Structure 1
Amino acid sequence: MNVKHIFVAALFALVTSGAFAQTAKPAAAAQTGKLPVAEHYAGGQDSLVAHLQRSIQYPAMAKRNRVMGTCIIHFTLSEDGVISNAKILKEVGGGTGQEALRVVKLLKFKAPGYSQEYSVPVSFKL
């Protein structure tokens, strides 16, 4: 009976350690703050983030309710640099998701020569 419990505990430890090892990589990548889509934007990541921040018109409801946070917009960048299939993956409320979607659709990318999907975070801070 004891061997059975030890085997189950060892199997559980093995499975959970594998799950933690796989979630550690994306978290480490997120901490570096590099956006893969920025390589296709003129001026790179700094220019991309600056353009997003300049273009945001804080929604009145979000400003009134002091809503802050990060919205995530997912889109497909086509071979010729055109954004399509843009959608809101995460929004913080008060109309921030729709504003982030509008601003991302305004971005102009260089033609990468292939089609790929990307996600871009858009921060809202008062």
Structure 2
Amino acid sequence: MKFKHILAGALLAFFSTGAFAQTTKPAAAQVGKLPVAEHYAGGQDSLVAQLQRSIQYPALAKRNRMQGQCIVGFTLTEDGAITNAKILKEIGGGTGQEALRVVKLLKFKAPGYSQQYSVPVSFKL
């Protein structure tokens, strides 16, 4: 009898905490402050908007309904050029290559120093 009460209490606690965890924003909607955005004309909102406008969803990823976030790392040089761009994280289906292509299209203001940055690129159907 005591075991039933313990089991019922544990299940109640488990399900009640799960209900409160649903109140936060989805991970794809949460974008923190991007340090590289200070070197982009228009700031972070403009940077994210440009990324979303430039994406051409890869056919394989679209067919397989792949969604998520790719991360591209690069070096921003003194004159604002992007060098050493590479895929740090991808979700597959050609999304990594597309994220790399889109990041290489970005035009930054000259920061006057060289620094490494990473930019998340979201893919959502």
Fold equivalence (TM over 0.5)? yes
Return 5+ residue gaps in structure 1 as ranges: 1-30
| Number of equivalenced pairs | 96
SS of equivalent to 1:39:
helix
Superposition deviation, residue 32 in structure 1:
6.5
Superposed CA deviations along residues 1-21 of structure 1, whole A, max 9, x for unmatched, are: xxxxxxxxxxxxxxxxxxxxx
Correspondence list, 1:39-118, <5 A:
39-118=38-117
More helix by share: 1
Query: TM-score, normalized by length of structure 1?
Result: 0.75
**Aligned-residue identity in percent:** 86
| Backbone CA RMSD of aligned residues | 0.9
Superposed CA deviations along residues 72-122 of structure 1, whole A, max 9, x for unmatched, are: 000000000000000000000000000000000000000000000000000
SS of equivalent to 1:108:
coil
| CA–CA distance in structure 2, aligned partners of residues 32 and 110 of structure 1 | 22
Return 5+ residue gaps in structure 2 as ranges: 1-29
Divergent runs of 4+, >4 A:
none
Is 1:122 matched up with 2:108?
A: no
